[in-house]
Amino acid sequence: MNNSENNWLNVVSIKEFQSNLGLNLLKEISMVSKLTREKLNPLLFKNLELSLDSIKFSSNVISIAYDMQYHYSNYNYSTLRDENNGCIENSLNEYINTINDIKKYTRSFYLMYNRRAGYYLYPIVKVFDNLTELKIFICDFPFDALADIGKTLPNLNRLELEDVDLIKSITDTISESDIIFPPKLSYLKIFQVQVITTTLLSDPYEYLFNAK
């Protein structure tokens, strides 16, 4: 009999085979079988990263706004706004639909280098049911979203915010004392974070396409 041709995980599950083994040996084999099965489970990816630098969609408002932020002249976004009825929901959904098939496998999500567009990309994190790690880097981020993060992502145990602008409107009354962190959070990194109040949030296009 050729050992390489046998599936030993199936062999050790046969009752006749188990009946001829001692209890201690059977426990050891059971443990080895369990560890083997766990190692055979594929690791699809360590984390999922969304950066508009590398992920682009044509005619996507958020993607266009990101590309235009490096231009010195102001972009005439009036036509683009009219075509989309002043809404950016379809553009956001384009990104959400892209990750729809892998969201259940995602435990770690990085939102990186998206600057102003990060403010409107944040709702993407709500589609991940099992998220345990979130990193925001060089992005604008809704201050009210941070305040509610303990409710939105209750399973989060690791949170990093670096070079982040926490954005709120002039009518927001949220303060740092209102922030509720996830109950399972064991690691928190906040570095170079500032709170900015703006009058532009009533118009997503004005906020996205106007330089700071």
Q: Are residues 76 and 173 in the same domain?
A: yes
Q: 204 and 102 share a domain?
A: yes
Same domain? For 24 and 65 the reply is no
**Is 156 in the same domain as 116?**
yes
Q: Is 100 helix (H, G, I), strand (E, B) or coil?
A: coil
Show pLDDT as tens, one digit a residue, over the chain (212 residues): 554 444 544 544 555 545 555 555 545 545 545 544 544 454 556 789 999 988 888 889 999 999 887 665 667 888 888 988 889 999 999 999 988 888 888 999 999 999 999 999 999 999 998 899 999 999 999 999 999 999 999 999 999 999 999 999 999 888 888 899 999 999 999 999 999 999 999 999 999 988 65
Same domain? For 7 and 77 the reply is no
- 120 plus 72 within the same structural domain: yes
- Please tell me the total count of domains within the chain: 2
36 with 57, same domain: the answer is no
Whether residue 52 sits in one domain with residue 16: no
CA separation for the pair 57, 69 (Å, rounded):
16
Residue that has been written with the tokens 């109950």 in this structure: 183
196 SS3 class: strand
Q: Are residues 71 and 35 in the same domain?
A: no
Asked if 193 and 161 count as a contact pair (C-beta separation under 8 A), the reply is yes
Are residues 129 and 74 part of one domain? yes
Residue ranges making up the domain that contains 164: 48-209
Q: How many CB atoms lie within 10 A of CB 151?
A: 9
pTM of this prediction?
0.75
Backbone angles phi, psi at 119, to 5 degrees: -60, -40
Strands lying side by side in the sheet with 48-50: 48-50, 108-115, 133-142, 158-169, 187-198
Q: Between β-strands 48-50 and 187-198, what pairing exists: parallel, antiparallel or unpaired?
A: unpaired
On whether both 29 and 74 belong to a single domain, the answer is: no
Rg (CA), the chain: 24
* Domain shared by 130 and 163, yes or no: yes
Q: Residue 169: which region, alpha, beta or left (left: phi > 0; alpha: psi -120 to 50)?
A: beta
The tokens of 82 are what? 């009219």
